[in-house]
Amino acid sequence: MFVEKTDPQIARLIKKETKRHQETLNLIASENYPSKAVREALSSIFVAKYAEGRPYKRYYGGQEFIDKLEVLVEERVRKVFKLNPKKWTVNVQPYSGSPANYAVLRGLLKTGDKILSLPLSHGGHLTHGAPVSLSGQDFKVVNYFLNKEGFLDYGEIEKLAKKEKPKLIICGFSAYPRKIDFKKFSQIAKKVGAYLLTDTSHITGLIIGKVHPTPFPWADVVMTTTHKTLRGPRGAIIICKKELEEKIFKKVFPGLQGGPHEHTICAIGVALKEAMSAQFKKYASQIIKNAKILAEELEKYGFNLISGGTDNHLLLVDLTNKNITGKEAQILLEKAGIVTNKNTIPYDPRPAFDPSGIRLGTPAVTTRGMKEKEMKKIAFWINEVISNPKSIPKIKQEVKKLCKKFPIP
Shortest CB 99 distance to ligand DSN, Å: 12
Catalytic annotation present for 220: no
CB nearer ligand DSN, residue 131 or residue 155: 131
Catalytic annotation present for 54: no
Indicate the SS3 state at residue 42.
Answer: helix
Catalytic annotation present for 113: no
CB nearer ligand DSN, residue 179 or residue 376: 179
Nearest in space to 362 (alpha carbons), one of 310, 303, 299, 304:
310
Shortest CB 282 distance to ligand DSN, Å: 24
Catalytic annotation present for 199: yes
Which residues contact ligand DSN (rule: CB under 6 A)?
Answer: 30, 125, 174
Q: Which of 15, 31, 39, 50 is catalytic?
A: 50
Catalytic annotation present for 163: no
Amino acid at position 338, single letter: I
- Are 92 and 73 in contact by the 8 Å Cβ rule? The answer is yes
Q: Which of 76, 106, 178, 228 is catalytic?
A: 228
CB nearer ligand DSN, residue 174 or residue 264: 174
Strand runs (DSSP E) across 226-363, as ranges?
Answer: 236-241, 304-305, 314-318, 338-339, 341-343, 357-361
Measured in degrees and rounded to the nearest 5, phi and psi for residue 269 equal: -55, -45
CB nearer ligand DSN, residue 100 or residue 298: 100
Using the 8-state DSSP alphabet, how is residue 343 labeled? E
Shortest CB 361 distance to ligand DSN, Å: 9
Count helices and strands in the chain by DSSP H and E runs: 16, 15
Q: Which of 15, 23, 31, 52 is catalytic?
A: 52
Shortest CB 277 distance to ligand DSN, Å: 25
Catalytic annotation present for 228: yes
Q: State how far the Cα of 129 lies from the Cα of 131, in Å rounded to an integer.
A: 6
Nearest in space to 249 (alpha carbons), one of 107, 147, 137:
107
The residues carrying an active-site annotation are 50, 52, 199, 225, 228, 234
